[in-house]
Structure 1
Amino acid sequence: MPLLRALWFFIQLSIIVVAAVWLLSQRGTVDIVWNEYSVSGNLGIFLLAAVLIAIVAVGLLRIIGAVVNAPEKFSRRRIEKNRRKGFQALTRGFVAIAAGDAKKASGFAREVRKLLPDETGLPLLLEAQAARLRGDEGDARQSFEKLLHDKDAAFFGVRGLLKSSIDAGDPVGALSFARVALDKNPKQPWVLKTVYELEIENKHWHAAMQLLDRARKQGAIEKDRARKDEIALLHVLAGEHRLARDENGEINRLERALKLDPHFVPTVLRLGEIYLEKNKKSKAAALVEKAWKVNPHPDLAALWEKLSPDASADPLRRVRWFEKLAVLRPDSADAQIAVAKAAMDCGLSGEAKAYLTTAEYIRPTARLYRLRADVEEVSTHNAAMVRGWLDKAASAAPDSVWYCTLSGNIYDRWSPVALPHGSFNTIEWGIPVGGAKIVSRSLDNGADLDPLMIETY
Structure 2
Amino acid sequence: MLWSLFKILLFVALIVALAFGVQWLLSVSGEVLVTFNGQEYVLPPLMVVICALALMLALWVLFKLAGLLIAALRFINGDDTALGAYFDRNRERKGYDALSDSLIALASGEAREAAAKAQKAERYLQRPEVTTLLVAQASEAAGETARARDAWKELLAHDRTRFVGVRGLMRQKLEEGDTETAMKLAEKAFALKPRHVETQDTLLRLQARDENWDGARRVLTAKLKAGTLPKDVYKRREAVLSLADARDQLARGDTGKAHAEILEANRLSPELVPAAVLAARAHIEAGELRRASKVLRVARARTPHPDLAAAFADIDPAETPAARIKRFQPFLKVAPDAPETRMLDAELHLAAEDFPGARRALGKTWETHPTTRSLSLMAAIERGEGASEAVVRGWLAKALTASRGPQWVCDNCGTVHADWLPVCTHCEAFDSLEWREVESGGSGTATLSSEMLPLLIGPSTAGISDAETAAPAPEPQKQNDEHPADTDATRREADPIETLPAGSSPPAPQDEAPTTAGTSRM
Question: TM over 0.5, yes or no?
Answer: yes
Q: Which amino acid aligns with 1:304?
A: F
Corresponding position of 1:413: 419
Cα gap change, 1:410 to 1:128, in 2 (>3 Å):
closer
Distance 2:134 2:434 in 1: 43
Q: Count residues in correspondence.
A: 370
Corresponding position of 1:342: 348
Corresponding position of 1:91: 100
Distance 1:282 1:231 in 2: 22
> What CA deviation, in whole Å up to 9, does each residue of 1:328-355 have, x standing for no partner?
4432332222222121122211111111
1:367 aligns with 2:376: no
1:200 to 208, 211, 215: 208
Residues 235-274 of structure 1 mapped to structure 2, 5 A cutoff:
235-274=243-282
Find the residue that maps to 2:263 and give its secondary structure: helix
Cα gap change, 1:213 to 1:249, in 2 (>3 Å):
same
Residues 368-383 of structure 1 mapped to structure 2, 5 A cutoff:
368-383=374-389
Residues 172-191 of structure 1 mapped to structure 2, 5 A cutoff:
172-191=180-199
Distance 2:136 2:317 in 1: 70
Corresponding position of 1:428: 434
> What CA deviation, in whole Å up to 9, does each residue of 1:141-176 have, x standing for no partner?
212211222223333323322222222222333333
> What CA deviation, in whole Å up to 9, does each residue of 1:285-332 have, x standing for no partner?
2322333344322211122222235345xx422221233322344323
Moved more, 403-412 or 424-433: 403-412
**Contact (CA 8 Å) 1:322, 1:338: kept in 2 or not?**
no
Corresponding position of 1:32: none
> What CA deviation, in whole Å up to 9, does each residue of 1:120-151 have, x standing for no partner?
21111122122222222222121221122222
**Contact (CA 8 Å) 1:366, 1:396: kept in 2 or not?**
yes
Corresponding position of 1:165: 173
| Structure 1 or 2: more helix by fraction | 1
Corresponding position of 2:304: 296
Find the residue that maps to 2:328 and give its secondary structure: helix
Compute the TM-score of the two structures, normalised by the length of structure 2: 0.63
> What CA deviation, in whole Å up to 9, does each residue of 1:64-106 have, x standing for no partner?
x99xx9xx99997554222211111011112211222122112
Q: CA offset at residue 248 of structure 1?
A: 1.7
Find the residue that maps to 1:167 and give its secondary structure: helix
Cα gap change, 1:108 to 1:196, in 2 (>3 Å):
same
**Contact (CA 8 Å) 2:99, 2:118: kept in 1 or not?**
yes
- Aligned-residue Cα RMSD (Å) equals 3.1
Find the residue that maps to 1:94 and give its secondary structure: helix
Q: CA offset at residue 240 of structure 1?
A: 2.5
Distance 1:113 1:329 in 2: 68
**Contact (CA 8 Å) 1:128, 1:144: kept in 2 or not?**
yes
Percent pairwise identity: 26
Corresponding position of 1:216: 224
Find the residue that maps to 1:417 and give its secondary structure: coil
Compute the TM-score of the two structures, normalised by the length of structure 1: 0.72
Corresponding position of 2:325: 319
**Contact (CA 8 Å) 2:139, 2:148: kept in 1 or not?**
yes
> What CA deviation, in whole Å up to 9, does each residue of 1:415-443 have, x standing for no partner?
22333665432222012344533499xxx
Q: CA offset at residue 357 of structure 1?
A: 1.0
Q: Which amino acid aligns with 1:257?
A: A
Find the residue that maps to 1:217 and give its secondary structure: helix
Corresponding position of 1:112: 121
Distance 2:261 2:389 in 1: 51
Find the residue that maps to 1:200 and give its secondary structure: helix
**Contact (CA 8 Å) 1:106, 1:130: kept in 2 or not?**
yes
1:154 to 149, 158, 162: 162
**Contact (CA 8 Å) 1:235, 1:254: kept in 2 or not?**
yes
Q: CA offset at residue 222 of structure 1?
A: 4.3
**Contact (CA 8 Å) 2:136, 2:151: kept in 1 or not?**
yes
1:402 aligns with 2:402: no
Distance 1:165 1:110 in 2: 25
**Contact (CA 8 Å) 2:404, 2:444: kept in 1 or not?**
no
Distance 2:197 2:406 in 1: 35
**Contact (CA 8 Å) 2:136, 2:147: kept in 1 or not?**
yes
> What CA deviation, in whole Å up to 9, does each residue of 1:273-294 have, x standing for no partner?
2333444444322322333344
Q: CA offset at residue 119 of structure 1?
A: 2.5
